[in-house]
Structure 1
Amino acid sequence: MHGSNPTDGPSSPPGPMGMHGVGVRTDPTRRNDPASGFDSGPLRPTDPSVRTDPAAMPVVPAVTPSPAPAPGYDAPARSHPDTVGEPAPRYEFLEHIGSGGMADVYRARDNELGRHVAVKLFRETDETVADQQRREREIKLLSGLTHVGLVPVHDAGRLIHAGIERRYLVMELVDGLSLAHRIAEGPVKPRQVADIGAQVADVLSYVHGRGVVHRDVKPENILVSEVPTFGYTLMTRLADFGVAQFVDGTRLTGHGTIMGTAAYISPEQARGEEVTAATDIYSLGLVLLEALKGEREYTGTPIEAALARLHRPPAIPDDLSPEWRSILGAMTADDPAVRPNAHDVASTMRDLIRLMILQTQVRKGRVPVWAKATGDAVAGADRRRRIAGIAGIVIGVIGVGIAIVVGIAASTGLIG
């Protein structure tokens, strides 16, 4: 109820004080019965409790009636049984949009803020203690991470769904499909693959810098929207940190337990060895290779897929450019120490993007302004020569590629 201050005008006629009644100022010559809410008649002068000073009399606060709905107002639907409190549910579930090993994800409407969100409901019926720890860790982990390439957390708590109390996590609803949906339609364009790779690598660089390893980088966990952003043709988000672990933290799985999706785990994961940030780089390399080829590299049963990488390296097609073959070979090296870190992968992907843009412009008879300073273009690539071993070749190959393209443009008169 919203009260209002009384005025000093004439007293209102006596009347009942209900939920939406009108407050009155007490008449000093009459008794007011607070139990019944009615004026019970004149006061007797002999009553010792009578106060004759009007200024000393208590004031009954007024109650403002609830305003009538404005014409055309459409109140949010409240018929769904799922609730986060009474009297009405905050989150109205609209449709089921996905499932994982530990939870189901729904599109829902936040009736409090009037927006659509993604609600992740954890399945707790068959949870072990380790499952509960992983669930709570994901919630706390995501709430402490802030990056444009992550799906932000809005809320968390418990609610009743289908008559069962469940733990929930509310996140931004990403308007787009997973990379898995795109790959199902065939190979993805190299420029788009580089855009996706650069953004995911940026996110991994951020989380790795905070001591977190994702451990389950796969197409289903990469969300892609048709929204050009920050110079990229697509907006990409990395989701689902359900099996993430802290690099220096306590293991929530027994030694030798494989966590992740079999088709994308690293050789060290398959062997049950210690997981590091290099694990995510290997998985991302397989994802990018799959996107370029349009088919998964390691197939079969989970056990077959997991063991296959221990017997053969990924088959990188010869028809891919030297730049792509170099970076993918570095990312999927068997030895974790040889793989580039996430920051260098992101830088290399951006160099690839520049090279592809330049190649396209030269074919069209145009050269971007930034490429006309040939020395600066090559030097910019050289300054990022930070990847050890095989990865060191990658930047060199890209730098040479830029120099060759610019040289061709100069010889044809495109660069004066």
Structure 2
Amino acid sequence: MTESANRSPAHAGSITGPEAMFTEPEDLVTTGVSLSNGRYSIGEQLGSGGSANVYRARDELLSRPVAVKLFRDEAATANDRLRQEREIRLLGELRHPGLVELYDSGSVLHRGVEHRYLVMEYIPGATLTDRLQDGPMLPRDAAALGAQVADALSFIHTRSIVHRDVKPDNILFSDIAAFGHANLVKLSDFGIAHFVGGSRLTNTEAISGTASYLSPEQALGETVGTETDIYSLGLVLLEAITGRREFDGGIVESAVARLHRDPVIPPELPAAWHPLLRSMTARKAENRPAAHEVASSLREIWADSRVRRVRRVRARLGVVAAEGVAPRIALLLAAATAAAGLAIGLAVGILAF
């Protein structure tokens, strides 16, 4: 299980001492607990994984919300400490709009044992998992999301880093609008990331990752490269568009399925999606495109969908023009009609209230 820094508990209780930060229950809130001589005030627990808990917190010095990832007792050996330090140094070197940023790190004593913690950017928006609770995304919206995630993957891949756990829970929607997007998308949780040709950064099982999004090489327990993130992103995009997981079920059932068949790509998808998704989810890693190629293709799909939308609007206005109304006037009429509709809607809402 990986840590999610943006999932609030359903119910909140009360904790009076620092010991509460090392407990397993998720439906708890820490009060009166602080780190770094009072700089970080700890709030509710946001998530829990195999090696750490994640809390919402506040940086009292800079007056901003943050997320704190606190490693628990399981990570107490010399090798585990080394992996923690490597993860901290890795995250400290990564600066990209599509990655959750590391602000600070430190240590806290608990029962005579020193525990490391990370202070990270807090993303108040929903995860892709949350977003899909409302149903599938439009293909153009999935393309916009996928392009941003592929950009972030390209950034880490050029530094020989494999994320190994690309999934909807680790894709966060921020409240920042930039680069033509209403919401910047952030890739989170490098808990099981590793260097290409290097050792793992954190403790993990023999098969690392989440069952539904494993690449074939992950499912076989083989050495993985950057191509494994591309396969996982392909499955994420397919789920975003269809609203269902392509390979569901337990790890064995899910692993066997992807080793014997390719994902089913909906025939009704725009033509450009088919070769892209087929190549991203190719069973042989060497047949998959690089992350920057995926980002470029998705951006073209996104741009093309916007052009088609403009053409449809112009076509509708053209019908009005053909009936004797100039396009410019037709555009003003369309705007006036929209404004009138909004006014009527507000009036009905007020009366209903």
- If the length of structure 1 is used for normalisation, what is the TM-score? 0.64
Between the aligned partners of 1:366 and 1:228, the Cα distance in structure 2 is 30
Pair 112,361 (structure 1): closer, same or farther in 2 beyond 3 Å: same
Between the aligned partners of 1:154 and 1:252, the Cα distance in structure 2 is 19
**Structure 1 runs not aligned, ≥5 long:** 1-78, 368-412
Pair 133,186 (structure 1): closer, same or farther in 2 beyond 3 Å: farther
1:260 Cα deviation from its structure 2 partner: 1.1
Partner of 1:175: 124
Partner of 1:224: 173
SS in structure 1 at match of 2:130: helix
For residues 14-413 of structure 1, the aligned pairs below 5 Å read 80-85=32-37, 89-125=38-74, 131-160=80-109, 165-251=114-200, 257-365=206-314
Between the aligned partners of 1:354 and 1:125, the Cα distance in structure 2 is 48
Between the aligned partners of 1:242 and 1:235, the Cα distance in structure 2 is 22
Pair 202,83 (structure 1): closer, same or farther in 2 beyond 3 Å: closer
1:129 Cα deviation from its structure 2 partner: 5.3
SS in structure 1 at match of 2:259: coil
Pair 229,104 (structure 1): closer, same or farther in 2 beyond 3 Å: same
SS in structure 2 at match of 1:365: helix
1:232 Cα deviation from its structure 2 partner: 2.0
1:176 Cα deviation from its structure 2 partner: 0.8
Between the aligned partners of 2:82 and 2:315, the Cα distance in structure 1 is 56
Between the aligned partners of 1:93 and 1:253, the Cα distance in structure 2 is 24
Contact 1:156 1:169 in 2 (8 A): yes
Between the aligned partners of 1:253 and 1:272, the Cα distance in structure 2 is 16
Choose 189-198 or 164-173, whichever is displaced more. Answer: 164-173
Post-superposition CA distance 1:34-92 (Å, at most 9, x none): xxxxxxxxxxxxxxxxxxxxxxxxxxxxxxxxxxxxxxxxxxxxx7133333xxx2111
Higher helix share goes to which structure?
Answer: 2
Pair 83,358 (structure 1): closer, same or farther in 2 beyond 3 Å: closer
SS in structure 2 at match of 1:230: coil
Between the aligned partners of 2:78 and 2:272, the Cα distance in structure 1 is 46
1:177 Cα deviation from its structure 2 partner: 1.2
Between the aligned partners of 1:248 and 1:218, the Cα distance in structure 2 is 23
Relative contact order: is structure 1 or structure 2 higher (C-alpha 8 Å, sep ≥ 6)? 2
Between the aligned partners of 2:191 and 2:283, the Cα distance in structure 1 is 25
Between the aligned partners of 1:350 and 1:247, the Cα distance in structure 2 is 27
Q: Aligned letter for 2:68?
A: V
Q: Aligned letter for 1:153?
A: L
Post-superposition CA distance 1:133-180 (Å, at most 9, x none): 433222111001111111111110112579975311001111211111
Contact 2:193 2:201 in 1 (8 A): no
Pair 181,128 (structure 1): closer, same or farther in 2 beyond 3 Å: farther
Between the aligned partners of 1:211 and 1:308, the Cα distance in structure 2 is 29
Between the aligned partners of 2:191 and 2:202, the Cα distance in structure 1 is 13
Contact 1:117 1:170 in 2 (8 A): yes
SS in structure 1 at match of 2:269: coil
SS in structure 1 at match of 2:156: helix
Pair 277,177 (structure 1): closer, same or farther in 2 beyond 3 Å: same
Pair 84,225 (structure 1): closer, same or farther in 2 beyond 3 Å: closer
Pair 253,163 (structure 1): closer, same or farther in 2 beyond 3 Å: closer
Contact 2:66 2:119 in 1 (8 A): yes
SS in structure 2 at match of 1:306: helix
Pair 328,129 (structure 1): closer, same or farther in 2 beyond 3 Å: farther
Between the aligned partners of 1:252 and 1:315, the Cα distance in structure 2 is 34
Pair 230,161 (structure 1): closer, same or farther in 2 beyond 3 Å: farther
SS in structure 2 at match of 1:119: strand
User: How many residue pairs were aligned?
Assistant: 287
Q: Aligned letter for 1:198?
A: A
Q: Aligned letter for 1:90?
A: R
Contact 1:120 1:170 in 2 (8 A): yes
Pair 184,127 (structure 1): closer, same or farther in 2 beyond 3 Å: farther
1:337 Cα deviation from its structure 2 partner: 1.0
Post-superposition CA distance 1:213-254 (Å, at most 9, x none): 111111111111244310123210111111111113235699
